[in-house]
A and B are shown apart, each in its own frame.
Chain A
Amino acid sequence: MAKARIKVPEVVKRGAVFEVRLLIRHPMETGFRYNNVGQKIPKNIVHTVRCMYNGAEVFHAELFPGIAANPYFSFFTTAEGSGELECVWTDDAGVTTSERAALTVSE
């Protein structure tokens, strides 16, 4: 299964505001839980998410343990040109993952 899903409209009119939906598969371990032998499960959450539209940052989020497991975000941006939307996120284990979605802008 993919690590994440990005959903954007297939075709957007130039200048229109469209919604971007991002779903990341991640346990978002809070660091407050214990395992069945009483040891603390180390904290491991996605702490930073950045989304770039043709290289320019359009969304940035700093996350804390209060975000639910498998974090979901939806935000808006303005269609400026065809290209791609790339989201990059990093967790406490230092793993950086990215996902892209292609976008077509009509005149």
Chain B
Amino acid sequence: MICAQPNRLSRRHVLVGLLGCLLVPLGRARSADAIPEKLVPLIRQAAGGMLPQVGRVSLILPTLAESGHSVRLRVRVESPMTPQAHVKNIHIFSEKNPRPVIARFSLGPRAGRAEVHTRIRLAGTQRVVAVAVMNDGTAWMAGAEVVVTAAACVEGS
């Protein structure tokens, strides 16, 4: 019989389930700032030994890329870009590409705006991390998750 135990879905179960629904997105938000284990030494090296703080950098990538051969990337850093306070370097890292370093850009106070656009290759669905190093030695970072439908051909085919 299908309706043998109609009281099985108790009020308590429903409440616990609802609470679980609330906690799932929270857990995801936390993992969005996490950096892939593989990239930690590279990021430390780029940032001068320490791990950069999350913030001040915005990394804009499409959430879904049909082809990994050319994915638009925009990176922007909040900075007044004056001789006293400016962005020195921007590093772009990939979690799954055979070469994790994608590019290093050097800017200076003459840039006026700390923003660079380019197109990158991605070997599959992964996380991309941008690290900005300021002239005062502090480092900031941001990550973005990209779902890649067709990866850039790196598997020796």
Please report A residues at the B interface, Cβ cutoff 8 Å: 17, 30, 32-34, 53, 56-69, 71-78, 80
Contact = CB atoms under 8 A, between A and B. Distances in A.
Nearest to B101: A64
Nearest to A28: B121
Nearest to B116: A75
Contact of B153 (A33, A59, A62, A75): A33
Contacts of B104: 61-62
Interface in B31-79: 69-71
Contact of B119 (A53, A71, A78): A71
Contacts of A75: 105, 107, 111, 115-117
Interface in B62-102: 69-71, 92, 94, 97-99, 101-102
Contacts of B103: 61-64, 66-67
B106 interface: yes
B70 A68 contact: yes
A58 B121 contact: no
Interface residues of B, number: 32
Contact of A77 (B102, B112, B154): B112
Given A63-B103, A67-B119, A68-B70, A32 B156 contact: yes
Contacts of A68: 69-71, 118-121
26 contacts: A30-B154, A32-B153, A33-B156, A59-B107, A61-B103, A64-B99, A64-B102, A66-B94, A66-B101, A66-B102, A66-B120, A67-B102, A67-B119, A68-B71, A68-B118, A69-B69, A69-B70, A72-B119, A73-B117, A74-B117, A74-B118, A76-B115, A77-B110, A77-B112, A78-B110, A80-B110
Contacts of A69: 69-70
Given A61-B105, A66-B94, A78 B116 contact: no
B113 interface: yes
10 closest A-B pairs by beta carbon, nearest first, are A17-B112, A66-B102, A60-B106, A74-B117, A68-B70, A68-B119, A76-B113, A78-B112, A62-B104, A32-B154
